[in-house]
Structure 1
Amino acid sequence: MMLKVASLLLGLVATVVLARSLGPGGFGIYSFVIAVASLVVLPAHAGLGTLMVRETAAGRAVANWGRVRGFWRWAFRISTLSTLAIAGVLIAALVTWGERLSPTEYWAALGGIVLIPLLVANSLRIALMQGIGEPVKGVMLEALVKPGLLLLGVGTLALASRLEPGMAVGVNAAATAVAVAGGLLWFQRLRPPETLGVSPVFMPGDWWRALIPLALLMGAQQLIKYTDIVLLGLLTTAVDVGQYRIAAQAAELIIFVLVGVTLVVGPRVARLHALHDHAGLQRLVVRAARWSFLAAIAAFAVLYFAGEWLLRVIFGGDYTVAIGPLLILAAGQIGVAFFGLAPTVLKMTGHERISLRILVAASMTNIVLNLALIPPLGMLGAAISTAVTLAAAHAVLALAASRSLGLRTLPLQGRG
């Protein structure tokens, strides 16, 4: 939690610098590129991170090191080939249609392409560290070094009055590269020694069968997360995107404890399930859900009573119009926090197909709602669509966890 708080503060300061220096229009271009990059990268790593955590944690529990090492090789091979293919297609598209973009948009798009393989590598690096039981060390570079370098880079350029959206994306890519390189070196020092002297065991059939639903599942989650930003960028203006992005980022304060708890709890859920310790798993999930929900209520109270003032003081008067979307999105995140760790529990216990059906339906519903509500309502329409989708989807996921596993994921139930 200390790491998450530090990361939140660094990220917030970097966002303030970006929002104030670029203005709503420039910050909108930056946010749009980051959102698009996060979506197009999905074929290269969607589901691999979750499967990496699950396979590594479960393999450690039963000392099946050959399978663990084999999976590592297979996963990195798949992600590398997919990343090269995606980057090649995007470079060809930029060369072909780049003249339709303004210089500012062109350089931002090029920076987004550079960022893609780094996002994939960073995702798998974090998953590796979680799987070997080092979640804190795994997230440390992502939580401290990456936002710290991003802040240093954009702050320096802003002071020199040279910050542009493309430069900001480039700084983001450079910070991610440092986190990846440092994290992989750290992993080599911490990896279980048993994985060094064992022959890898490959079971690609099993892994593909598990990966495909997980990939679709993550794709649905990312669609829910970024559909509002992308469709706002396509249907409205860059200024709207920039203002809305501030609201969306501030609303994530509601679940920052839940995100941190998930990093720690995920591998433990996989381990306890592999050991058939249902009672221990139930205690773990309820206790984690309670902490997450209490923190969410406290954060919502701050945003409700002081949100507009905070937007004006921190980001500037141009962003106070985002208070409506901010409160709507924050209310939706309260729903996410209340229904606890149901998505993580389902994924880490091999019930990803149940989550898949629910979240695919939710992502499709989210697209339809955004298309229907953004034209008449703008930012408010995007916020309503996303908040309703998130809260409803997590409620159904909690019900599915209860019926499929007999586990209660709500903070107000059971004995924690």
Structure 2
Amino acid sequence: MNRSIASGVFSVVSVKVVVQLLTALSTPLLYRFLGPSSYGDYAFLLSVFAIYMIFVSSGVTDGVRKFLAEDRNDANWSEHVVGFYLRLAIGLAVVGAVLLILAARFGIVDRAFGDGFTIYFYALAVLVVTAQFRDYARKTLMGFGLERYSEPLKILDTVAFITVAVPLAFVGVGVIGVLAGHLVASLLVAVVGLTIVHRRVPLSCLTSTPTERFPRKQMLSFNSMSIVLVFLLMSLYHIDIVMLQRFRESAAVGNYRAALTLAEFLWFVPLAIQTVFVHSTSELWSQHRHREISELASRATRYTFLLTAVMAVGLAALADVAVPIYFGDEAIPAIEPLLLLLPGALGFALARPILAVSQGEGTLRYPIAATGVAALLNVVLNAALIPRYGMHGAAIATSIGYGTMFVCHCWSARRVGFDPLADARLSRAALTTVLAAVPIIALATAIANPWLALAVVPPVGFGIFVGFALLVGALDPSEPFEILSVFPDPIGSRAAAIQVSLENNEGGEDGETRSWFQSLLFVAGLSLFVSGLALGILGSGVQSLLP
């Protein structure tokens, strides 16, 4: 992987880990303080807001990120792009906020969603404006390649939200208090983010007039296509919650949202790759480096499969333990939907880097067609299964829709002009997952103490998985060190030295050394398999001795 892109991915992943940890701490608190019913209302409102913001924000944020990253020689290109999209962001935010206020004022909200939702939509109207500038500032910084600024703003956003929302939920303010947390956090991030943008490009460019050569039509065309794509994509996230709210009580929606929250934890690395790839591959496409793009996409697909699969296996093995501890006993009904969602979540994770590379090329008709097929299937299946099977039907329908994304976007990628499976090694990655799942699940089953299981299974399971990945060839011996080489020193420099040494050995003709290494991997894999089962038996024995 290109080192600058890898560094960008590392920056995004590092922040996402922090954000995920903070979210992991705050989500069960909100679930408990609000209760399943109010948490279901909150999840429903966020889904409606996310779908609504597609039309307000997605064309702006995707456009400014893509076109700032392009390698163009036009005079004052960056200033004109920033000014063009800032004007567009202001206009769309005002229109979006006014429409929500009118819908609340004239009773449309009450008729559509029931009594009690009007006050929430007034809050959402304000959130439209603050969220628009928050997202515009962050995506502008990313377009400049300044992930070191854009990504810490996500931490600021999360910390500010938790600081306001959790105490308000605790004292009984309810859903409106949690929405207030979003308002304060997005306003703070917007102010800080725009200040940083202003240091790079003066915001007085808002009033600048681009030349006739400025590609307004191309930008607006990309914006409109991007809105369609994001709408179809976001429907996969939210249509199940919106439809479930219509056919089931709010408590069921809250428990299903809890299952989705855990399933979406699988996506933090794929989301980081997707975030960086859109603007990073735009430059590669503009330079017609098609072979490098295929290599980049296929390796990203392979790494995504392995990282997401090991997390999915671990989450499936610990679902009975993790859900009650994390959300409380009221969330036990979320366990089965979670297990049904995991296979589809893996497929959606694989589709994300492929989609990002296609977006970087700029011709969106094939990604739109691919996403449209998955979105249509998702809507049809949800409509068919939710009335009869409730949240279990929603989980099955959504999982199938998620999984279809990978198949459809492989077809789309080849139409766009790259091969995401060139070095994906899907069969080897799948074999790794099957082999590793046996001892990991056995270990989790054998350890009766839930806290001991949470402490033992993740690190041991990860070791087992990596051992099998190396054994079957899903990973080359040098690749783990290549990934570690982007870490700060001293880890990065030492990993890079080991990587170079291993690559030299791999490139040589010393068959005896290679055979010895493969034998070592086999022994290591067998040892990890046996040790996982042994630790499970040991944990069970220790638990039986506890009072």
User: Shift in Å at residue 258 of structure 1?
Assistant: 0.6
Secondary structure of 1:47's aligned partner = helix
8 Å Cα contact 1:224/1:366 also seen in 2 = yes
8 Å Cα contact 1:235/1:374 also seen in 2 = yes
User: Shift in Å at residue 112 of structure 1?
Assistant: 2.0
User: Who wins on radius of gyration, i.e. which is larger?
Assistant: 2
Residue 33 (structure 2) aligned to one of 7, 21, 25: 21
Secondary structure of 1:78's aligned partner = helix
8 Å Cα contact 2:60/2:136 also seen in 1 = yes
Q: 1:168 and 2:181 equivalent?
A: no
User: Shift in Å at residue 139 of structure 1?
Assistant: 2.1
Secondary structure of 2:106's aligned partner = helix
User: Shift in Å at residue 221 of structure 1?
Assistant: 0.8
Number of the residue aligned with 2:340: 328
Q: 1:376 and 2:421 equivalent?
A: no
Q: 1:88 and 2:98 equivalent?
A: yes
Which residues in structure 2 correspond to 1:15-414 (within 5 Å)?
15-58=27-70, 61-97=71-107, 105-142=117-154, 144-159=155-170, 161-191=171-201, 200-201=210-211, 202-339=214-351, 341-409=353-421, 411-412=424-425
Number of the residue aligned with 2:518: none
8 Å Cα contact 1:37/1:115 also seen in 2 = no
8 Å Cα contact 1:292/1:340 also seen in 2 = no
Q: Which amino acid aligns with 1:411?
A: A
Gap change, CA 1:35 and 1:65, over 3 Å in 2: farther
* Deviation larger for 279-288 or 233-242: 279-288
* Deviation larger for 296-305 or 338-347: 338-347
Q: Percent identity?
A: 23
Give the distance between the partners of 2:168 and 2:177, measured in 1 at CA: 8
Gap change, CA 1:189 and 1:30, over 3 Å in 2: same
Gap change, CA 1:213 and 1:339, over 3 Å in 2: closer
8 Å Cα contact 1:358/1:396 also seen in 2 = yes
User: Shift in Å at residue 133 of structure 1?
Assistant: 0.8
TM-score by length of 2: 0.70
Gap change, CA 1:71 and 1:189, over 3 Å in 2: closer
Q: Which amino acid aligns with 2:210?
A: P
User: Shift in Å at residue 81 of structure 1?
Assistant: 1.8
User: Shift in Å at residue 44 of structure 1?
Assistant: 1.5
User: Shift in Å at residue 367 of structure 1?
Assistant: 1.7
Q: Which amino acid aligns with 2:31?
A: A
User: Shift in Å at residue 218 of structure 1?
Assistant: 1.0
TM-score by length of 1: 0.91
Secondary structure of 1:62's aligned partner = coil
Give the distance between the partners of 1:292 and 1:330, measured in 2 at CA: 14
Gap change, CA 1:271 and 1:229, over 3 Å in 2: same
8 Å Cα contact 1:41/1:116 also seen in 2 = yes
8 Å Cα contact 1:111/1:169 also seen in 2 = yes
User: Shift in Å at residue 254 of structure 1?
Assistant: 1.4
* Deviation larger for 246-255 or 283-292: 283-292
Give the distance between the partners of 2:134 and 2:337, measured in 1 at CA: 30
* Deviation larger for 277-286 or 162-171: 277-286
User: Shift in Å at residue 397 of structure 1?
Assistant: 0.8
User: Shift in Å at residue 307 of structure 1?
Assistant: 1.4
Deviations 1:187-233, CA, capped at 9 Å, x for gaps: 2234599x99x973443222222222111111111111110111111
User: Shift in Å at residue 153 of structure 1?
Assistant: 1.4
* Deviation larger for 111-120 or 300-309: 111-120
Number of the residue aligned with 2:15: 3
User: Shift in Å at residue 26 of structure 1?
Assistant: 0.7
Give the distance between the partners of 2:110 and 2:237, measured in 1 at CA: 30
Gaps of 5+ in 2: 1-12, 427-473, 480-547
Give the distance between the partners of 1:190 and 1:287, measured in 2 at CA: 33
Gap change, CA 1:331 and 1:192, over 3 Å in 2: farther
8 Å Cα contact 1:266/1:344 also seen in 2 = yes
Secondary structure of 1:408's aligned partner = coil
Give the distance between the partners of 1:306 and 1:384, measured in 2 at CA: 20
Secondary structure of 2:117's aligned partner = helix
8 Å Cα contact 1:28/1:242 also seen in 2 = yes
Deviations 1:120-160, CA, capped at 9 Å, x for gaps: 22222222111101124212212x1111112111232244x
User: Shift in Å at residue 392 of structure 1?
Assistant: 0.7
Q: Which amino acid aligns with 2:165?
A: V
User: Shift in Å at residue 383 of structure 1?
Assistant: 1.3
Superposition CA RMSD, Å? 2.5
Give the distance between the partners of 1:375 and 1:342, measured in 2 at CA: 34
How many residues were matched structurally?
A: 410
Secondary structure of 2:145's aligned partner = coil
User: Shift in Å at residue 65 of structure 1?
Assistant: 4.8
By relative contact order (CA 8 Å, sep 6+), the higher-ranking structure is 1
Gap change, CA 1:99 and 1:295, over 3 Å in 2: closer
Give the distance between the partners of 1:192 and 1:120, measured in 2 at CA: 19
User: Shift in Å at residue 186 of structure 1?
Assistant: 1.8
8 Å Cα contact 1:220/1:359 also seen in 2 = yes
